[in-house]
Amino acid sequence: MIPSQDIFTISSAKQFEKIALKVFRYQHENNAVYREFCDLLKTDKGAVKSLEQIPFLPIQFFKSHEVVSNSNPIQTTFTSSGTTGMVTSKHLVTDVSIYEESYRKAFSQFYGNIEDYVVVALLPSYLEREGSSLIHMVDDLIQLSNQADSGFYLHNYDELIEKLIQLDQSGQNVILIGVTYALLDLIEKHSFQLENTIIMETGGMKGRREEMTRKQVHDLLQKQLGLSLIHSEYGMTELLSQAYSKGDGIFHCPPWMKVLIRDEDDPF
């Protein structure tokens, strides 16, 4: 097993590549699905010497196979959200503390001490199903905020509107994490002039509204909330790290996460 401190103390591109190659070798040796995928690509493990040479496992495998890298008991299974009848991804997690360390450290890096914020969540479609990695993260952040006003809201928009206005006017720093369609529902019920609140959208209409571009969504939210910037969070069931945008849809990753572009139709 790769010690988590090796991953979460990465501070340079050179160190990232060194750890990524170490993780690749570990996955190749311990993850049967990944090893078979590499074998079918005729990948020589010993010849992989750079980040770009590491084969990427297609995300569809999380829908069709059990992708696990050790024989420890499964602690929790995260599942992706999907429209009715869709096959969803399943991420079998044997050590959920690694995920918790990842999002806690990343949040701290981008936003500072969680106890400085009241964390309010408007995530109805996620709350209404089992196995959401987003709900696991937000519930933990709510607890860590140690604020009595932190919590989840489902369909009680009037209560949320009253709470947001009260907290913002008191000068309290607030982060409202919301799924896109629910945030649009909120601003149809009330327009705000917020000064101490960060709105963080997590994307997704979840079949509840017509799809819109991020710019269209953010323009609407900015106008109705009285804000110049809308923040965003991006995570995936299959990926136990988050990227954050503090505005303009430009996302930044924590030091242990990197984005490389691949053609999903071309394994090479």
List pLDDT tens digits, range 80-121. 976 556 889 999 999 999 999 999 999 999 999 999 999 999
Place of tokens 């954050």: 244
Question: What is the predicted pLDDT for the residue at 105?
Answer: 97
What lies within 8 Å, CB to CB, of 148 at 6+ separation is none
pTM over 0.85: yes
Q: Which regions of the chain are under pLDDT 70?
A: 82-85, 205-207
| 31-59 pLDDT, tens digit each | 999 999 999 999 999 999 999 999 999 98
Beta bridge partners, 244, equal 233, 252
Place of tokens 């990944």: 34
Place of tokens 């074998």: 39
What dihedral do alpha carbons 205, 90, 76, 146 form, nearest 10°?
Answer: -20
Helix (H/G/I), strand (E/B), else coil: 41: coil
User: Element (H or E) spanning 27, and its range?
Assistant: helix 13-30
CB atoms closer than 10 angstroms to residue 166: 11
Supply the mean pLDDT for the chain: 93
Question: What is the predicted pLDDT for the residue at 2?
Answer: 83
Place of tokens 């010993």: 46
